[in-house]
Amino acid sequence: MGRPRQFDEERVIRAVCQEFWAKGFDGTSTADLCRVTGLTRSSLYNTFHSKEHLFRRALSYYVSTMTARQATVLDTPAASGLERVRALLAVIVDEETANRESGRGAGCFTVNTITSIASRNPDVARVVEADLDKRLSSLRLALMDGQLDGSVAADRDPGDLAWYVTSLVSGMRVAAQSGAGRTVLEGIASTGIEALTP
């Protein structure tokens, strides 16, 4: 059977994810990855093949956990369509505030990736594009529900509104990285929601 692994793969991915999130693909060295995981180069390469594979694993882990969490909020029944979008933005604000206070640094790994390597790496681009499609779909459904229950303006294409909310979220992530705190983010969210009301 061979010698067993001395590490937990998901724990390693989590550590790698945080490092790539903070420093980006180009700004992270394999030495950094060894340091934050506690693994040697051998174990890292034996398991994950290359820095780029490891990056994609970390990014996929991030988008799947993030998007799942957000989809859960968006799919909450009972609440109106608008309330579900409002809840999503509240989650974003909470996340950014928590990350800031725990010293993890602000911003979103996905946004950071879109604005850096995604344009130069088709494989990475595919990961973020697939994730974007999922998020747009979830949003679109919630917004259509909102148009049916009367909480969301019915005179706009729900697809356009989904793009708007996605942009708003990205903008809030960038604002957080620019130093915006909870109060400012809450202002952005509550103002941004106004655009959706009938």
By CB under 8 A, name the binding residues for its own copies: 22-24, 26-27, 105-107, 111-112, 114-120, 128-129, 132, 153, 156-157, 160-161, 163-164, 166-172, 174-175, 177-180, 184, 187-188, 191-196
Compute the distance between CA of residue 180 and CA of residue 193 in angstroms, rounded to an integer.
18
Encoded tokens for 142:
């919630």
Nearer to DNA, 19 or 145 (CB): 19
Q: Which long-range contacts (CB under 8 A, 24 or more apart) does 28-37 make?
A: 37/7, 37/12
Helices (H) and strands (E) in the chain, counts: 9, 0
Provide the CB-side half-sphere exposure for 90 (13 A, CA): 8
Asked if residue 120 binds DNA (CB under 7 A), the reply is no
Mask for 34-73, x = binds DNA (CB under 7 A)? -----xxxxx-xxx--xxx---------------------
- Interaction pattern, residues 163-192, with DNA; x per rule: CB under 7 A: ------------------------------
Shortest Cβ distance from residue 26 to DNA (Å)? 8
Choose from its own copies, DNA, none: what does 103 bind? Cβ within 5-8 Å by kind: none
As measured in angstroms, the least distance from the Cβ of 171 to its own copies is: 3
Distance CA 106, CA 175 (A): 9
Q: Are 73 and 88 in contact (CB under 8 A)?
A: yes
Structure tokens at 86: 């409002």
For DNA, how many residues bind (rule: CB under 7 A)? Answer: 23
Q: Count of CB atoms within 10 A of residue 99's CB?
A: 16
Q: How far is the CB of 90 from its own copies (least distance, A)?
A: 16
